[in-house]
Structure formats: C-alpha cells, structure tokens
C-alpha cells in the first residue's frame, strides 16, 4: 500500500490555473496514480484535503502503519511546520511531489519546509511527477 496525499486546492485541478497546472482534473490524477500503481504491482490510495489537520492525521496514520507516501503538500510546502514535523516522523519512504516547478515560480514558493525531511522531491513534470514518484517509490520499497 502507498498513500498519495494531496494538500489544498488540488481537488480543483482542471479549473485552477490551467496554464500552470494543466487541464487534467483531480479524477484524472486519481486514475493515473491508481493505474500506475497497478502497472508496478502496488496498491495506491489517493486522498486530498484542504484541511491541514486532516492531512496531518493521514501522515500520522502512514507513520504508525509504516506506509510509504507520495505527498504533494501544495501551499503547505512553504510554511507548514506542522506538516514538516509530521513528515519527519515517517517510518517509510516519503517523496515530495509537485505538478509545477516551485523554483521557477514566485519567490515565496522557492522554499520547501518539507524537502529536508522527505526521502526526495520530484517537481515540474505535470501529473507525470506522480508517475515518476510512484516508480521511484516502487524501487525504494523493493
């Protein structure tokens, strides 16, 4: 089992700034992650929340159950020390993922408080960032 956890506004994919995030919807993202997982022989569960506390609960659950995580913290990437601290408690690999390349965007997006406690980060490849992260995760846990 691998969790793919998504933070705020990612449920709005397809309508939110398509020039940055593309025209694919959140449903397309879920389908892509689940089908990629099947290709890799992995069960993938995709979740999204606009609420920091819910995301924290899922990260705690993953740590307690030793579940690997692909995490797009979205806006929480840049300022949520609570998310950073939950990621630091991980007991399995955790890959930070972003659809866009934060380093190529506004200056406030250049810093990730999560990156330093994640196994690695993949960014800038659109929804393919998730495919790359799931492939990397498959290698890490085998």
Band (pLDDT 50/70/90 cuts) for residue 134 is very high
DSSP the chain: -EEEEE-TTGGGTTTS-HHHH-S--HHHHHHHHHHHHHHTT--EEEEE-S-HHHHHHHHHHHHHHT--EEEE-GGGGGT-HHHHHHHHT-SS-EEEEESS-GGGS-GGGS--SSGGGSSEEEESSTTHHHHHHHHHHHHHH-
Does residue 98 have an active-site annotation?
Answer: yes
Residue numbers belonging to the annotated binding site: 72, 78, 85, 99-100, 109
Model-level pTM?
Answer: 0.94
**Catalytic one among 3, 21, 79, 81?**
21
* 49-67 average pLDDT score: 98
Q: Which residues are annotated as a binding site for substrate?
A: 72, 78, 85, 99-100, 109
pLDDT tens per residue across span 65-82:
999 999 999 999 999 999
pLDDT tens per residue across span 92-114 = 999 999 998 887 677 877 789 99
Is 3.40.50.9100 the CATH number for 2-141?
yes
């Amino acid at each position: 089992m691998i969790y793919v956890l998504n933070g705020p506004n990612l449920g709005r994919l397809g309508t939110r700034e398509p020039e940055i995030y593309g025209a694919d919807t959140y449903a397309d993202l879920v389908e892509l992650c689940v089908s990629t997982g099947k290709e890799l022989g992995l069960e993938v569960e995709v979740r999204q929340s606009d609420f920091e506390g819910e995301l924290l609960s899922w990260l705690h659950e993953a740590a307690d159950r030793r579940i690997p995580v692909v995490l797009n913290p979205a806006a929480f990437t840049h300022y949520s020390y609570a998310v950073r601290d939950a990621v630091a408690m991980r007991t399995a690999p955790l890959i930070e993922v972003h659809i866009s390349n934060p380093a190529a965007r506004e200056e406030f997006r250049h810093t990730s408080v999560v990156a330093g406690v994640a196994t690695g980060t993949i960014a800038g490849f659109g929804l393919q960032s998730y495919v790359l992260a799931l492939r990397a995760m498959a290698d890490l846990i085998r």
